[in-house]
Amino acid sequence: MGERALIRCINGWLGTASPPPPAGMGDDCAVLPQPHGSPLLTVDPVVYGRHFDDSLPPEQTGAKLLKRNLSDIAAMGGRPVSAVVSLILSPNVSLNWLERFFNGLKVCALTYKTQIVGGDISATDGRSFSATLTLYGEAERPVVRHGAAPGDHVAVTGSLGGSLLGKHAAFVPRLNEGLWLAARPEVKAMMDLTDGLAKDLTAMLHPDICARLDISSVPIDAAAHARSEQDGLSALEHACCDGEDYELLTILDGQTDLAPLMEAWKKDFELSLSLIGRVAEADSIDDAGHMIDDATDKPLFPNGGYQHLSGQ
């Protein structure tokens, strides 16, 4: 149908989720408002065969594209503002599928008060589809992932594992929870769980420290137990290594009394916040930068989690 006609369709499909120019589509760049606090910028794609397949409805695929980025903003304690979307389309992508994809993106954008302000379209050969969304947000107090020190507590929202059974697309970005945690002085560091606890927690540790976990406190999702019954791997391994949980992993100051924080959390959220371990000085080179089972002193899944570019 041609690029210009497709852009007109996209603009119509997005409706009020896309503002008029110069704040939205129609110029070389979108003109964004001045940020309140620190500006945030993140980018994530959905790629056919990697992040979704034919079993996922296009509406959920479009929503997942935005929600993956919203989860990054949540992990910084921020609010979303505006996004641009880049499409790479092969000839087999139908107009009906694309309309449904953008409808899912629109509903998600309106739900989370995010404006789709522009993007780009490119063609490719074969049978493929990818969409990349760049999301702009803002935070009064951005919370970075580094800052853990010996004695600090490790906490996680929700439950973990088994994301392939549906959560990878049906998750809720923890924006309200991220804002709440960012406002608490006890919170020293935070990130979202996308590649699995085994990989993401170690990304928060500098080389001289480790995380000693009480594995009985790790919140294991029912889907992780279901996956365990399917493939024989332990439910704990699925909870630590599956990835795409999109929960918040946070480091809490070990020098403070956490009782007020935990009590306030329970009043404001039905979602669980679980204390799963402590940060400690590494006893050996083998322990440094790893998760350790506090009961056995053995590293937990040292090569676990989703490893990008390796196919694992």
294-303 residue pLDDT tens:
999 999 998 8
CATH code reported for the domain at 153-299: 3.90.650.10
CA 134 to CA 119: how far, in whole Å?
Answer: 9
CA 272 to CA 275: how far, in whole Å?
Answer: 10
Residues of the chain with CATH 3.30.1330.10: 3-139
Q: 310 falls in which pLDDT band (50, 70, 90)?
A: low
CA 219 to CA 308: how far, in whole Å?
Answer: 25
Confidence at residue 3, expressed as pLDDT on a 0 to 100 scale? 87
Confidence at residue 312, expressed as pLDDT on a 0 to 100 scale? 46
Confidence at residue 163, expressed as pLDDT on a 0 to 100 scale? 96
Q: Tell me the torsion sign for CA atoms 28, 80, 197, 53.
A: negative
Closest CA to 137 of 186, 211, 75: 75
CATH code reported for the domain at 3-139: 3.30.1330.10
Contact between 206 and 144 (Cβ < 8 Å): no
**Is the pLDDT reported for residue 286 higher than 80?**
no
pLDDT in tens, 260-276: 999 999 999 999 999 99
Average pLDDT over residues 275-288: 89
pLDDT in tens, 1-26: 888 999 999 999 999 999 999 999 98
Residue 127's CB is within 10 A of a number of other CB atoms, namely 11
40-44, 82-86, 209-213, 288-292: least confidently modelled range: 288-292
Confidence at residue 236, expressed as pLDDT on a 0 to 100 scale? 98
Average pLDDT over residues 168-178: 97
Distances (CA, A) of 83 to 106, 114, 159, 172: 12, 7, 29, 18
Q: Does the N-terminal peptide bond of residue 58 adopt cis geometry, omega within 30 degrees of 0?
A: no
Contact between 150 and 255 (Cβ < 8 Å): no
Confidence at residue 1, expressed as pLDDT on a 0 to 100 scale? 81
* Residue 122 three-state SS: strand
Q: 308 falls in which pLDDT band (50, 70, 90)?
A: low
Average pLDDT over residues 76-81: 98
pTM: 0.95
**Is the pLDDT reported for residue 283 higher than 90?**
no
With a CB cutoff of 8 Å and minimum separation 6, the contacts of 183 are: 77, 140, 141
pLDDT in tens, 38-52: 999 999 999 998 899
Residues of the chain with CATH 3.90.650.10: 153-299
Of residues 273 and 289, which shows the higher confidence score?
A: 273
Helical H runs in the chain?
Answer: 3-14, 58-75, 95-111, 167-170, 175-182, 197-200, 222-231, 235-241, 259-268
CA 243 to CA 240: how far, in whole Å?
Answer: 8
Confidence at residue 2, expressed as pLDDT on a 0 to 100 scale? 85
